[in-house]
Amino acid sequence: MNITVVGSTNIDLVYLVPHIVTVGETLHSTKHELFFGGKGANQAVTASQVGANVHFIGNVGADDFGEQVKQNLQDKGVNTAAVQKVGITGQAIIQLADSGENSIILFPGANFLVTTDQIEANKNTIASSDALLLQLEIPMPAVETAANIATQNGVQIILNPAPAQPISDSLLRKVSILTPNETELAILTGMKTETEEDLYHACNFLLQKGVGAVVVTLGEKGSYYMNNQEHGLVQANPVNVKDTTGAGDAFNGALAVALGHGNSLRESILYASKVAGYAVTQLGAQPTIPSSFQINK
């Protein structure tokens, strides 16, 4: 299957700490690591590793980091013909606590230089895809342009609304599957997301806006999903968590591939949960995923 990802790339500067720093606190890091990241790149790398033919549209910086990021995408099997070099490569400064929890500061850099013209120049790539994966770490006009092209050509759109920000009703109506976490769902709807009943009402609110389906990622609790036919909670299997950075991105990349192979929404969520569950047992947002996770169906 063919998947196009329009989104962000980053270099992740990871600092291992006993706990997440609080206001006014100075804390020594026990270790420093450099990883590849960016929500778009994370999703692209996952989808490629589990069996999809992936094209990436976005920017890296015209610097050494940019060359490294682009080469890494290519090494993971992602087509980078539509990747431009401009400005400074995006960076994420990540605190990773002993518990596996993280705190992230984003410097967007080249990601905020993705333009609508750049998207239009690659419209044939989007139009010929089975699915389009989107996030919100690039300018909204670029996201909306990509969604418009996909809609005009009957391409399924999976939108991960992160970082959370206002989304127009016109964009929501184009989304086949929306994949927020609990916090993002609360921001999008202005509703509580603490209980399963809360999730039901918040997801239903988005369905009434025209979204095809909502899949809410709940971390170790699993996922809650709803479309016009069914809804329910999908439990996650317990794992030994090392790093939750990029877990949601691994979930999204795997979800797109599973759906593209004809699996039901619930079956696809179960598969995506397994892939994300493996990802959090590894360090970094783009771990190597064993070939045993590939879908052969």
Residues with catalytic annotation? 249
Rounded distance between C-alpha atoms, residue 168 and residue 124, angstroms: 25
The sheet with strand 10-17 has its strands ordered as 31-37, 10-17, 91-97, 102-107
Rounded distance between C-alpha atoms, residue 260 and residue 23, angstroms: 45
Rounded distance between C-alpha atoms, residue 166 and residue 210, angstroms: 16
User: DSSP letters of 115-157?
Assistant: -HHHHHHTHHHHHT-SEEEE-SSS-HHHHHHHHHHHHHTT-EE
Contacting residues for 229 by C-beta, under 8 A, at least 6 apart: none
